[in-house]
Structure 1
Amino acid sequence: MAKKIQRAKGKNFNKPKNYSNHGASKQKIVFKGLDDRLKSVNTDLGKDVKKTLMARSRELWMGSPLATGALKKLRTSVIGSGLRLKSTIDNSILGLSDKEKQQVENQIENVFKLWAETTQCDIQRTSNFYQIQQLAFLTSLIDGECFVLMPFKKRPGEIFELKIQLIESERCMTPPEEQNNNKIKNGVELDEDNCPVAYHFCDDPYTLSKKTFRRVEAFGNITGRRNVLMILEKERIGQQRGIPILAPVIETLLQLGRYTHSELTAAVVSSYFTVFIENENENKDGGFGEPIEENQEKDFSSKNIEMGPATVTELSPGQKINLANPTRPNTAFDGFVKAMAIQIGAALELPHDVLLSKFDSSYSASRAALLEAWKMYRMRRSWMIADFCNPIFAEFMDEAVARGFIKAPQYFKNPLIRQAYLNCKWYGATQGQIDPLKEVTAAKIRIETGLSTKSREIMELYGDDYNEVMAQSKIEKEGIDA
C-alpha cells in the first residue's frame, strides 16, 4: 500500500496537454489545406485581400437579399432616424445652479439643431447630420471602415463653417513611390508607437492614368485637432484597416444565393404549362409534315424551342420532347435556408428570428431573440458615438463657442472646463415592444423601485426627450382644464 501511494505521489497529474495529436496535428486529413502560418494583421489585410473582400461584400450588398436585409437591419436598429444629442454638462466642475445648467444644456441642443438638421453640415450639401450618420455606419459595415474629414468651408447664406466629408475606403492606399516604406501600411502612416500620423488618399483610384495622392495628417501640429476620423471595428492588436462585417460569411451567402436562384428557376419551370405538337404525318416525299421547298432550310436542329406559361409549340419533324420532372416546390428548401440563416446570424450576432424577421415562436423566445440582438445594437451604437458623434460634436462646440453662439466661460482657457461642456449622451431608435402592456408595466415597476428614472424609460421605450414630453403634457393638460 505504501509503495502504491509513493508511486502515486511521483506521478505528474499536472502534466501539460499534448495538442500535437489533436488541434495541432499535421497528419490528420481534416486539417489538410489549412494555412498554419502566423502572419501579421497588416499581412492578412494586404491591399489585394482588402480590395477583394470589399468588392465581394459590395456585390453581396447589391445582389443578396439576406446580406442586404442583415445590413439594413443593423443600420436601422443602431442608427435609425439618427442619434440625437442630449447635452449633460458636468455640473460638478462648472458649479452652476440647476436652472443655469438647464439653460446652458437647452442652448447647446438648440444651436446644435440649427446645424445638424440642415444640409449645411454636409460638404456636398445633400444630407443632414443624421443622414450622414446612416451613410457612414452603413459604409463601415460594407467596406470595413469609413473615413471622415472635418474641413471648414465658408459658404454664402450658411451660419456654420464646419463640414463633414465622408471618404470611401478604397481611396486610402499607399502611393507607388512609398511601397517600400515600412511606416506606411495600406495607406496609413504610423509612428514608432504604431499610432496613425497621416493618411494617404488617392483622388481617383479608378483612373487608368497616373494617380494623384493627398497626404492628410491625423492630428494638427499646433492645436492637436483631429483631422481624420475612422469608423471601424478592431479585431486584432495593431489593426489599422477594417474588415467587412460580411467577410466570414461571404462564401455561405454566395452559395446560398445560387441555391435559392436554382430553386426559384426550377419552381418557375415546373409551373409552366406548355403543349408540344408532334408532326408525324408522312408526305409524298417520304418525310414528315409539309413538303420542304428547295430554298427552305432543311436543318431543323437550329429551331429554338422554349417553354412558357400556356405556350403551344410545334416541333420539327422527327423531334420529340423528353422532360425531367423537377418536383418543385422543394419541401426541404425552407428548413435548409433556416439552418443556413442560423449560422449566418451567429457570425453577425443576429438571431435567425431577427435576421429573417420571422417571429413564429413564443413570446419569451421572440423577446429573448430581440434582447440578444439589442446587446449587439447597443455595443455598435456606443462605438459609433465614440468614433463619430462625439468628435464631431466637439468640433461643432469649438466653432459655436468661438463665434459666440453658445456662452461657455473659460471654455478655451481650461481644458477641464471644455470637457465638462462637451459631456453629452446620444439617443436613437428604441428596442421595440412585442407586448406594450408588459413593457410599460415593467417600466413602471422599475421607476417605483428606484431602479430607473422616467427620463431613461421614456428614452428606452420611445426614444423621446423627457423634457419635451413633460412640456407637451403640460400644454395638453392646460388645454383640457381650459
Structure 2
Amino acid sequence: MFDRLRSLLPSRPRAGAVAVGGQGAAYLAGDRTSEAMVNWHAPLRAPDAEYLRDRDQIVARARDITRNNGWAAGAAVREVDAVIGSAFRPLSKPNWRALGLDEGWARDWKEAVEAHWQLDAEDPRRYLDASRQLSISQLFGMAYRSYMIDGDAVGVIGWEEDRPVRTTLRVVDPDLLCNPMGLADDATLRGGVEIDANGASMAYHLRNAHPGTSWASTEALSWTRFAREHAWGRPIVLHYFDKHRDGQTRGVSRLAPIMEKLRMEDQYGRVELQAAVLNAILAVFVKSPMDPEAITDLLSENGGAWDAYNAERSAYYDDKGAVRMGGAKIPHLYPGEEIGVVDSARPSAQFGEFQSAVLRHIAAGTGQSYEQVAQDWSKVNYSSARAALIEIWRGLTARRANFSGGFCQPFFMAWLEEKWDAGLLPMPRRAPDFHEAWAAYARAKWIGPGKGFVDPVKEAQAAAMRVALGLSTLEDEAAELGGADLTENLAQIRREIAAMPDGCLHPMQESFAKLLGTPEQRAPEPERTPDA
C-alpha cells in the first residue's frame, strides 16, 4: 500500500533543476534573497501619499540648492531661457475648416489676433500682469521656473474693470496651494485641490498670505476658494504639472531625483576649495621644539620664563637676519627650530573626475547635455554638438508644447474672449458662436527662442532643402531656427525691397538655388541709354 502511495508522489527534482513555484523569482528585480536586493524595501504607495507628506521639505531643498549651487542655478536659468525666452508668443492658427469658414477669413483673423496680442503683451504699463511688474513673457518664465523647481505652476486669471486690458494673470507661489487650516488629505481634497470622483480638479484653496512671512499677518490663517472655471468655461485657475501616475494631484520637483548628488557635489567642492585656499595662505611655517607641556610649564611661572625665551629668540634673529624664502639660501634658525612646508596636493587628483561624473548625472536628470550644465565645450566637435543639440531640442520642444498647452493656452483663451466680447475680431455672419467653438477660434502655436546654429551655412542649406522638398514651411523654419515670426519678417522684407536702389536685388529675392549650391543669380544690369 505504501509503495503505491509513494508512486503517486512527485519525484524529487534532479540536481541543478529549478522547481516550479519555488523561492527563486522569475525577475531579478523581484528577488528577495540576492545580496543586492535583500535590504531593498521600496514602499508601494498611492501617488499623492508618496509626495504630499514630504512636499514642503523637497521644495525647500530644491529652492536652496538653486540659490546656492551654481550648477543647479545655471541649469534652471538655461532651461527657462531655452523654453520661454524673452518673447514667448502665440501664432494664431484658427481651425477654419472645423468652423466652416474660408482661408481668407483665417488670414484676417490671424492678423487681428496677433496685432492685439502684440499690443497688450509689449505694453510697458504691464496691464496683463496683476501686479503690473512683469511682461507676459516674464510671467510665463516665472511660472515655468516654478514648475521646474517646485513641481507646480499655479496662476489665477483675474478681471480688472479699471484697466484698459481687463484680463490679468497672477502667478501664484505653489506654497499657497494647500488644505485650509491644515486639514488632512482625503478622497476629495488633496494638497489644496478639490477633485471629483473622476479625479478632475474642481476648485483650488489658496492661502491668502505665505506662512513664512517675516511680519505678523492674520491673512496667513485664511484661505480663498477659487473654482477651476466659470460656468461658461472661462478659466480661473491655471495649474500645470507633470502627471506621471493616475490619481496624482500635485507635481514633483524636477530636481528631486538629483538633489542628493547636487548636495554631495556642493559639499565636496566646498571642502576642496577651502583646502586649496588654506594651502595658498599657509605655505611655509617654522616648527618650534616646544611641546605643549613645555609651553605650559613656562607660562605657569608667571610668564617670566616665556618672556625670557622670546627675548632670546628675538635677539638671535636680530643678529642672524629674518627667515626668508626669497633666495636659494636659508638663513640659520634658532636652535631647535626648522622650516616646514605645507603639502599643496589639494585639490585631489580625483576631484575633476568626480565632479564630471556628478555633472553628467545632473545633466541627465534635467534633460540637458553635460556641456550645457558644465559649460565645457573643449571636447566637442561638429558631429557630437549636432547630436546633442538634436536630442536636447527634442526634449525642450516637448516641454514647451506641454507647458504652453497646459498653462499659456488657457490664459490666451481668456484674453481672446475679452477681445471677441469687445468686437475687435472679424466675425462673419455665418460664423459659429464663439463659446461653442472656443477651442477652434483660440487654436495657436506658441513660439519662443530658436534652436540656434552649430554651422550657420549648413543649417541654412538644410532648411532651404526641407522647404524646397515640401517637408517643412518657411514659418516652421523661422520659428525653429531663430524663434522668429515669418509674418513680421516678410513685412520687414517688403519694406526693405521697396527701399533698395534701382538695379539692386534684395537677398531675399535670390532664389533658393543659391542656398542649394547652384550657380549664383545676378541682378539684372540696368538698361543703357543711347547716350551712355
TM-score (norm 1): 0.84
Q: Which amino acid aligns with 2:309?
A: F
Change (3 A) 1:324 1:115: same
Report the equivalent of 2:32: 26
Preserved CA contact (<8 Å) 1:174 1:188: yes
Cα distance in 1 between the residues matched to 2:367 and 2:469: 33
- In structure 2, the partner of 1:314 is none
CA distance in 2, matches of 1:198, 1:373: 36
- Residue 200 of structure 1 aligns to a residue in which SS? strand
Change in Cα spacing, 1:402 to 1:30, as seen in structure 2 (3 Å) is same
Say yes or no: does 1:139 pair with 2:146: yes
Query: How many angstroms apart in 2 are the aligned matches of 1:237 and 1:30?
Result: 30
CA distance in 2, matches of 1:171, 1:445: 51
Quote the offset at 1:251 in angstroms. Answer: 0.6
Structure 2 equivalent of residue 162 of structure 1: 167
Q: CA deviation at 1:322?
A: 6.5
CA contact (8 A) 1:280 1:288 kept: no
Closer, same or farther: CA 234–419 of 1 in aligned 2, 3 Å = closer
C-alpha distance 21-458 of structure 1, shift in aligned 2 (>3 A): closer
Q: Which has the larger radius of gyration?
A: 2
- Equivalent in the alignment of 2:488: 468
Distance 1:229 1:16 in 2: 53
Q: Give the conservation status (yes or no) of the 8 Å contact 1:354–1:373.
A: no
- Show CA shifts across 1:159-192 (max 9, x none): 2111101111111111237437432111111111
Once the two structures are overlaid, the 10-residue window that deviates more, 445-454 or 180-189, is 180-189
CA contact 1:82–1:133 (8 Å) conserved in 2: no
Cα distance between partner residues in 2 of 1:480 and 1:386:
42
Equivalents in 2 of 1:383, 1:29: separation in Å? 42
Q: Which residue in 2 is equivalent to 1:432?
A: 452
Q: Identify the residue that residue 338 of structure 1 maps to in structure 2.
A: 356
CA contact (8 A) 2:181 2:221 kept: no
TM-score by length of 2: 0.76
State whether residues 127 and 165 of structure 2, in contact with CA within 8 Å, keep that contact through their aligned partners in structure 1: yes
Corresponding residue SS for 2:120: helix
Specify the code of the residue in structure 1 equivalent to 2:427: A
* Counterparts of residues 42-441 of structure 1 (less than 5 Å): 42-47=48-53, 49-118=54-123, 119-155=126-162, 158-176=163-181, 178-179=183-184, 181-206=186-211, 211-220=221-230, 222-272=231-281, 274=283, 276=285, 285=305, 287-290=308-311, 325-359=343-377, 360-409=379-428, 413=433, 415=435, 417-441=437-461
Cα RMSD after superposing both structures: 3.2
Alpha-carbon distance in structure 2 between the residues aligned to 1:18 and 1:414: 63
Q: CA contact under 8 A between 2:228 and 2:235: conserved in structure 1?
A: yes
Measured at CA, do residues 196 and 272 of structure 1 come closer, stay the same or move farther in structure 2, by a change above 3 Å?
Answer: same
**Comparing 188-197 with 122-131, which one deviates more in the overlay?**
188-197
Distance 1:36 1:284 in 2: 69
Contact 1:270 1:326 in 2 (8 A): yes
| 2:58 pairs with 1:37 | no
Task: Number of aligned residue pairs: give it.
Answer: 445
Change beyond 3 A, Cα 1:477–1:320: same
Structure 1 gap ranges (5+): 1-10, 292-316
- Equivalent residue number for residue 479 of structure 2: 459
Match of 2:388, SS? helix
Question: How many Å separate the matches in 2 of 1:216 and 1:187?
Answer: 11
Q: CA separation of 1:449/1:175 partners in 2, compared to 1, >3 Å: closer, same or farther?
A: same
Q: Distance in 1 between matches of 2:467 and 2:79?
A: 30
C-alpha distance in 2 between matches for 1:452 and 1:21:
46
Tell which deviates more after alignment, 377-386 or 443-452. Answer: 443-452
> How far off its partner does 1:33 sit?
4.8
Residues 286, 339 of structure 2: 8 Å contact kept? no
**Any conservation in 1 of the 2:203–2:227 contact (CA below 8 Å)?**
yes
2: CA distance between counterparts of 1:271 and 1:196?
Answer: 59
Q: How far is 1:17 from its partner? A: 11
How has the CA–CA distance of structure 1 residues 182 and 477 changed in structure 2, closer, same or farther, with 3 Å as cutoff? closer
Give the CA deviation at 1:73.
Answer: 1.4
Q: 1:436 to 1:84 in 2, by over 3 A?
A: same
CA spacing shift, 1:409–1:35, aligned 2, 3 Å: farther
Rounded Cα–Cα distance in structure 2 between residues aligned with 1:134 and 1:180? 31
| Contact 2:155/2:238 (8 A) holds in 1 | yes
Instruction: Tell me: CA distance 1:320–1:453, structure 2 relative to 1, closer, same or farther (3 Å).
Output: same
The alpha-carbon deviation at position 218 of structure 1 amounts to 1.5
Range with bigger deviation, 255-264 or 180-189 = 180-189
